[in-house]
Amino acid sequence: MAVWMWGLILFIITQRLVEIKIANSNEKWMMAKGGVKIGEEHYKWFVLLHCLFFLSIMLEVGFQSDQAHSLNVYLFSIFIAAQLGRVWCITTLGRFWNTKIIVLPRVALIKKGPYKYVKHPNYIIVAIELFVIPLLFGAYITSVIFPILHLLLLRIRIPSEEKALAIRS
């Protein structure tokens, strides 16, 4: 793998680890305020999907010939836009942002930032990332398989989240 590839994959993995730390802190805060967890049984599948995603990229790139990949500026621009959207989602929700479904009863639904325009903007961003990141590495099989797996998991996740949001009041 080219040096820029290692740098990018390390950046993304570090970013995800920081997000897990933020989510864990937010989870503790929400639970202390009376938060309720919903849909925990499917959470492990999201964790597995994201771990296998990075492994799949590295394996697929590892099996490619030694031809050097140059950075595709167009795909990288889409990646940067997705990262900005990701940060927008996290900062908009603040202490309410989490990787798990946790609701605080009697707390108003946040309808600002990207949530003013789309109900689940983070899931759109993740789908874009699961497609674009592998393409940046030339991991074409991964770029097809993981967005599909993500969409299948969202068929469980979004109804669970909708149910949780409905009982928060």
pLDDT band at residue 20, thresholds of 50, 70 and 90? Answer: very high
DSSP states along 39-97: -GGGHHHHHHHHHHHHHHHHHHHHTS-SPPPPP-HHHHHHHHHHHHHHHHHHHHHGGG-
Angle subtended at Cα 162 by Cα 111 and Cα 165, rounded to the nearest 5 degrees: 60
Handedness of CA 80, 82, 84, 87 (dihedral sign): negative
Q: What is the pLDDT of residues 94-113, one digit of tens each?
A: 999 999 999 888 888 899 99
Q: What is the pLDDT of residues 34-92, one digit of tens each?
A: 999 988 889 999 999 999 999 999 999 988 876 667 899 999 999 999 999 999 999 99
| Residues written for the chain | 169
Distance in angstroms (rounded) separating the CA atoms of residues 150 and 50:
9
Q: Does the structural domain 3-167 have CATH classification 1.20.120.1630?
A: yes
**What integer pLDDT is reported at residue 102 of this predicted model?**
93
**What integer pLDDT is reported at residue 32 of this predicted model?**
97
Contact call for residues 137 and 61 (beta carbons, < 8 A): yes
